[in-house]
Amino acid sequence: MAKILVTGGLGFIGSHTVVELQNKGFEVVIIDDLSNSSIDVLNRITSITGIAPSFEKLDLKDKPKVQAFFKAHQDIQGVIHFAASKAVGESVDKPLQYYENNINTLIYILQELQKLKTANFIFSSSCTVYGQADELPITENAPVKKAESPYGNTKQIGEEIIQDTCKVTSHLKAIALRYFNPIGAHSSAKIGELPIGVPQNLVPFITQTAIGIREQLSVFGDDYPTHDGTCIRDYIHVVDLAKAHVIALQRLIEDKNTSNFETFNVGTGTGSTVLEVIQSFEKVSGQKLNYKIANRRAGDIISAYANTTKANNELGWKAELTLDDAMASAWKWEQEIRSK
């Protein structure tokens, strides 16, 4: 089968996507600089699939090393690009770090793909490009709004760079997957979300609070114009999300794309409030969570959830796992890693 490069392949979404690629018979090469991941994940992937992916520790900001990698792997037929800094708050404090890491690395990869005979590229984009959308659910035709953070801006700029490159590179085909809020873990509890330091995302903060690592969870605001006053997001199980990447890649390899650059929303199509996520966790875990209502957090939008009709119809992909499934797997994963 085709050889596929997965950048950031030892990260949360990347590792689950590597598993799904291997399940479909693809040969996988992983690049990761281990800045926000662990080499231990490589063995965990192998224990799930029975196949050890090739791995190269490489900082994609090092252009000569990127060039050397592609020179040594000229038979790569596709790239799924996850490698990027991704914390919204941190990006506000360190904008230049985010622009260098997220934009320069993308450019270096695209420059190498231009040299290949065929190039299929899947970009890890985000629903942050929509900001607070005017209409819900959000379709791919919703206007891209001025970004709320440097992180969000790197996703917008990244899409623009890819689109511009596709216009002048006839053999380059690309899909930007705009995903909503990935949560959960693999059913084996061998891979999952493993944030370094204080979690930036809701679900690992919930599971770390439940297991006693964090004293209390703060719910930022209960006075939003939603049915229970807390923010609404579209929480998608990471395994469903990983499968969407594989299907999008197959679309490009099989020349089923309708243009050189396509965008798809990847979500469940259902919005859940912060309190509903907590209630789901309490239901599947059988324990009460220690949380408090805190002041609103700057930069948080009220509500965002996807219209997934385009992905359902054109990709033939649909989210299959529920919020309860995701919370149960996240809790199983948290218990597994803390039992060591």
Answer whether the bond into residue 225 is a cis peptide, omega within 30°. Answer: no
Q: What does the DSSP assignment read for 265-284?
A: EES-S--EEHHHHHHHHHHH
Rg, Å, the chain Cα set: 19
Active-site residue (options: 130, 151, 179, 235): 151
Reading the block at residue 191, the tokens are 């891979």
Q: Name the strand (E) or helix (H) holding 23.
A: helix 12-23
- For 51, 183, 254, 267, 280, the CA distances from 322, given in Å and listed in that order, are 29, 11, 30, 11, 10
CA-to-CA distance for 68 and 50, rounded, in angstroms? 29
The token pair that represents 296 in the structure block: 């609103």
Specify whether 305 is catalytic: no
Give the active site residues: 151
